[in-house]
Structure 1
Amino acid sequence: MLTRRSALLIVAMVLALIVPTAALAGNGKKANNNSGNSIAEVTLLHTNDFHGRLETDYKYRGGSAYMASMINDIRADVGKKNVALLSAGDVFFAAPAISQLLMGESTIDIYNMMGYDLAALGNHEFDKGQGVLVDRANQSEFPWLGANVVLEGTEWDLPGWAAPYEILELGKGSNAVKLGVLGLAGEETPEVTIKGSTAGLVFKDLTDTIIHYRDEILAQADAMIVVAHMGTNNSGPYDGLETVAQKLIDAGSPVDLMIGGHQHQPLFEPIMVGDTAIIEAGFYGRWLGQVDLTIDKTTKRATIKNYQLNTVTGAPTAGDIGDLIHEMYADGLITNAGFHNSLLKKVEGAEAAFDRGRGNAAAGKMKALRNQVAAQAGKKIDAEAAAELLGDIDAYLAHPADPAVAARVAYWSDIVAPIVDQPVGFTTIDLIRDYNNESNMGDIVTDSMLWKADEYDDGLLNGSVQIAFTNPGGLRANILIPDGASLPYTLTWGATFDVLPFGNQLFLMDLTGAQIQDLLDQSAKLYKGILQTSGASYEWYNNDILSGDPAPTVWGAQNVEVGGVTLNPGATYRIVTNDFLAGGQDGWTTFADGTNRWDSYYDMQQGFVEYIDELDDDTIDAEDIVIGRIVNVPVP
């Protein structure tokens, strides 16, 4: 009776990824444990690329109620005054419906509840334009930092909704300290968000910005760190944090700690560049970064005493456990009606206590439930069933949710549920993305784009649109059939929204064969992944695949066909893409040169839903997706 779900939960509880790194110091030495007034010790908690993941996923990963509980425990352990909670950006957009449909209001509400002290601006904060960003900034009970986001035509003037840095006052008494935090947005933000959303703003070089503010901050603070919406690696022409750290060292202006984001990297150990430590906490709220700092107020140096990523793991709710008890009774594994009713009464008591915000009382009820099940294992309940039930109860007790945050998340969830839970079709296969190659998710999404654009172009399905292209970064989620689910598996509107949450629209244009060849050659470089396509097929090569060199020297596309016919460089083709790529964003500048342009204003996700409805029995089967349209081959 031990199900895979419970087994995975038990393993997750035992193998929580807490990876300590003791006494890494900004000066390369062990942290000074001197308890004099010049030394202070503080704890920084950090997240990045949360993307509105307020709820746990189907594998019980993440969830803001569980993260809030973890944050509260750490604050209790080290003292609330000694803790700061920081975000490195991409907080509320490119998100599930619970955040995206509500323009991020729900996520900022929860961030306020969790007590964030500041956030750096991420590129996705600009997804719906600066007006929505201003609304979210005004709602926030913490400052948004973007020292390098300046008003066009000025040197260092920032928009009114952003600040360059924050001086955090942490600790108290002899442990009191002022920590300067400089916040940075990614320099590539104008290129990787919808065209026009950053109008009037200039995103300055990260290194130049840090040097500009460093002395100003250290004149007011006992130490300084950087929180940046940028990962460790370079992104095309834009410097990653490793490069920035080295440039700062070369300029004689090093910083001790950089907290990064954007590249969705769970760094279980700091990356050291000289004496600069770089850390990042993954994505989607699945980890909570924790760095314990020793700050020498005399030398104004911050050194790492301990660093770890805490895995944020959800657990079965009391309701889930009650459902399991019902199933066991129905299956004859619980053999006594009075025992069954007694168990359910304790579950109902735990639910009621939790709903009233009494987490400790709920835990007490669940402990009593545990004791009762353990005492009757092999008697009034089958021994194997008892082991499964005890595993779920232990998971509940080991990772309790914060009741207040859980209730607030449920409030927001209820608002969008009528839309999110609406069935739109079925699937018999997993639909999975691949950023750097063909994927069946990319195939079916572009198939739906081509189908809808062809119909919408002139009202007929007649081949008037020949090719569809979309970028892999625009596909934000897989659709996976849970273990044990019956087939065909029901697809909801929310599942399709999670794949395509941006509200992108179908954009039609004419491109020459030569322009299409240029785009596919660029795709093969893998700078922003492989263009997903329908109506065309191509082979691509890249010597980075074999050499591991992060900067390939040989790449390209070959044997390109459109509708089974070799691409003609001089011919004109009618194509459809999304309105993001149509503006030349993400470096795909050739799209901006297309002619006979038409923004259909037709939502990509709506087209995807309608395409599923056109399939036999409204069901996605393997034979509905033609695989092999994009093939990686050796370098010629």
Structure 2
Amino acid sequence: MIKPTLALLTSALLLSACTTTTTNTTTPKTPDPVNITILGLNDFHGNLEPTSFTKVGDTAAIKAGGVAAIASEVNDAKLKNPNTILVGGGDLIGASPATSSLLRDEPSVVALNKIGMQISALGNHEFDQGLKELFRMQNGGCDSNDAAKACKFDPTFDGAKFKWIGANVEYNASSGKTGTPFAPYIIQDIGGAKIAFIGAVTKSVTGLVSPDGIKDLNFLDEAASINKYIPEIKAKNVDAIIMLIHEGGEISKDSKDTYATVGCKTLDASSPIVAIAKKVDPAVSAIISGHSHQGYNCLVPDPTGKDRIVIQGDFYGHLLQTLNLTVDKANHKPLSVSAANLVVDYTARETNKTLNADMLALVDKAKAKTDAVKAVPVANLGVPQIQRGISNARNTESALGDVIADAQVFATLAQGTQISLMNPGGIRQDLPDTGQIKAGNAINFGDVYAVQPFGNTLVVIDMTGQQIKDVLEQQWMNENATAVKLLQVSEGFSYKYTDSAPAGSKINIADIMFGGKPIDPAAKYRVAINSFLATGGDFFSVFTKGTNKVELPNLVDVDALNVYLKAKGSTLDGKVKGRITKL
């Protein structure tokens, strides 16, 4: 087992009890302590195989994550402490590499079943294919909205053995149903102790997935929804409450804290998870988070001002969040909790031959069913790799973002396209991933698919110059204010923005250029976007006001990129083109 390099932090000793005893005496019972290990996996995104990761203090990347290494880490933890449970922080599926997504993420669900996942918060990507398909992933069966992929990994797919939970997901009035489609919390018996896990997903789901797939649902305030169920949970004499939430933040940019820093207090104050954590009932002992694809192990004050652990484990299974929890099951109260992030070092386990054999076999089975498609040659790039941004940042222009925007123009010239805009969250991998760089800078369809796995189609609309300015301003407005998403733009189009200016006024329309000239607010421009943005995805609602709309249901974004790379791949230099300028 690869051990954390830093000592675990004890965030609280003799924590306040989650509940009082139900006897008529105030005399405490003889303590009966139980030590529990909680492992958390967030933002796995169906990454059955490892991807590149650089450990703190190293310069060379290793392979990290992958179900064969994750399974071995979980097994090692259980050998050390039988009272170990694996839980999820959401986005276990969705936006997945081809090995999983070409099989509708069923291999990932089966793998997590076998590894021992017990409970997970819902993530926004669990809703990518709609509520009905998510029910199928939970309950099994082959009645899918993509019959070409469903039950091809296992013809008797019987769904997740673990349970997705979400206290803030409710049916809306138009659905004709009431209540919650998923349990808000689950109480788990671990070593005789009763540990409650309560879940929530970011309330921003409505802007992150196709509206049609979630039309029957409301996504409510996260903290208020959690707090609503705390009295009910406490009444059941649980010994501790742990929160699983698919919402996160990031460490302040001027801090040197990393995933390995224990007890950091540098989570950016604007991070959504900070505001949520400060409101969540103090009875919650620790918060396992996700969504922002960051590694941190921080402390955030609860409503009483007492520090509480808020932890996240990067993404793709690179890290396992580890909580060491001691509870007194006689008096129904937590005694202590400490936390660390554990690197899942696939490279070391591969060298030491300690990868889980059953998981290696499962991955081989999934690859055998998808390798023929993935291995189809596409092109030889002009450079070994085109990156999607430093640390996968979404608030900067990236070389790969430039390429994708150019590809979308190239694919829709027949529809009169002049400009293309691309959401950075739809770019899921470097091209290729560091671990997949090949001789001669060759790339195959699997590499391309890993970049854009959502299956969005392309749409072309007319937008006025003013509408283009308005949609660019939305990069810093409303929900995007705390997690800026800079739309990537195509060749011939550029703009400048003033970061210090107030939201809604960061861009002077005279600084938006097309064809070497400022855009005309009244003129119409032909703009290509993906179908996700066309419905107002990522809170870019101005796109829904476009006119003369042409939908291209047979032109998938990944296919457009594939064609462009075949035509232009050898000429691409992997450089950021400077189309977006921060003043």
Is residue 146 from structure 1 mapped to residue 105 from structure 2 by the alignment?
no
Give how far 1:247 is off: 2.1
The equivalences for 1:177-256 within 5 A come to: 177-220=193-236, 221-232=238-249, 240-248=272-280, 254-256=283-285
Give the AA of the match of 2:287: M
In structure 2, the residue corresponding to 1:94 is in which secondary structure?
coil
| Structure 2 residue aligned with 1:49 | 43
Give the AA of the match of 1:306: S
In structure 1, the residue corresponding to 2:242 is in which secondary structure?
strand
Give how far 1:86 is off: 0.3
Contact between 2:476 and 2:503, CA under 8 Å: does it hold in 1? no
Task: Write the distance in 2 (CA, Å) between the matches of 1:84 and 1:561.
Answer: 54
Contact between 1:55 and 1:64, CA under 8 Å: does it hold in 2? yes
Give how far 1:136 is off: 0.7
| Structure 1 residue aligned with 2:21 | none
Give how far 1:512 is off: 0.8
Contact between 1:151 and 1:200, CA under 8 Å: does it hold in 2? yes
Give the AA of the match of 2:42: N
Distance 1:538 1:137, change over 3 A: same
Larger radius of gyration: 1
Distance 1:316 1:261, change over 3 A: closer
Contact between 2:250 and 2:268, CA under 8 Å: does it hold in 1? no
Structure with more helix by fraction: 1
Task: Write the distance in 2 (CA, Å) between the matches of 1:595 and 1:236.
Answer: 39
Length, aligned pairs only? 512
Contact between 1:18 and 1:309, CA under 8 Å: does it hold in 2? no
Give the AA of the match of 2:506: W
Task: Write the distance in 2 (CA, Å) between the matches of 1:144 and 1:108.
Answer: 12
User: Which residue of the other structure, out of 592, 601, 604, is the alignment partner of 2:544?
Assistant: 592
Task: Write the distance in 2 (CA, Å) between the matches of 1:484 and 1:266.
Answer: 23
Is residue 440 from structure 1 mapped to residue 399 from structure 2 by the alignment?
yes
Give the AA of the match of 1:228: I
Uncovered stretches (5+) of structure 2, i.e. residues with no partner: 17-27, 53-61, 140-158, 252-266
| Structure 2 residue aligned with 1:310 | 342
Q: TM-score when scaled to structure 1? A: 0.75
Task: Write the distance in 1 (CA, Å) between the matches of 2:234 and 2:329.
Answer: 11
Task: Write the distance in 2 (CA, Å) between the matches of 1:133 and 1:505.
Answer: 21
* Higher RCO (CA 8 Å, separation ≥ 6 residues): 2
Q: TM-score when scaled to structure 2? A: 0.81
| Structure 2 residue aligned with 1:75 | 78
Is residue 604 from structure 1 mapped to residue 557 from structure 2 by the alignment?
yes
Task: Write the distance in 2 (CA, Å) between the matches of 1:510 and 1:315.
Answer: 50
Contact between 2:47 and 2:97, CA under 8 Å: does it hold in 1? yes
Distance 1:178 1:28, change over 3 A: closer
User: Which residue of the other structure, out of 170, 178, 181, is the alignment partner of 2:190?
Assistant: 170
Give how far 1:17 is off: 4.8
User: Which residue of the other structure, out of 365, 371, 396, is the alignment partner of 1:411?
Assistant: 365
The equivalences for 1:108-147 within 5 A come to: 108-138=109-139, 139-147=159-167
Give how far 1:271 is off: 4.3
Give how far 1:484 is off: 12
Distance 1:170 1:194, change over 3 A: same
Task: Write the distance in 2 (CA, Å) between the matches of 1:416 and 1:77.
Answer: 37
Contact between 1:18 and 1:311, CA under 8 Å: does it hold in 2? no
Task: Write the distance in 1 (CA, Å) between the matches of 2:177 and 2:270.
Answer: 20
Structure with more strand by fraction: 2
Give how far 1:497 is off: 0.7
Distance 1:259 1:422, change over 3 A: same
Contact between 2:188 and 2:194, CA under 8 Å: does it hold in 1? yes
Task: Write the distance in 1 (CA, Å) between the matches of 2:580 and 2:309.
Answer: 40
In structure 2, the residue corresponding to 1:102 is in which secondary structure?
coil
Give how far 1:240 is off: 2.4
Contact between 2:395 and 2:485, CA under 8 Å: does it hold in 1? yes
Is residue 262 from structure 1 mapped to residue 270 from structure 2 by the alignment?
no
The equivalences for 1:321-336 within 5 A come to: none
Give how far 1:92 is off: 1.3
| Structure 2 residue aligned with 1:386 | none
CA RMSD of aligned residues (A): 3.0
Give how far 1:293 is off: 0.4
Give how far 1:255 is off: 2.0
Task: Write the distance in 1 (CA, Å) between the matches of 2:100 and 2:388.
Answer: 22
Distance 1:481 1:187, change over 3 A: closer
Distance 1:282 1:484, change over 3 A: closer
Contact between 1:289 and 1:309, CA under 8 Å: does it hold in 2? yes
Task: Write the distance in 2 (CA, Å) between the matches of 1:619 and 1:416.
Answer: 26
The equivalences for 1:460-479 within 5 A come to: 464-479=416-431
Task: Write the distance in 1 (CA, Å) between the matches of 2:436 and 2:114.
Answer: 36
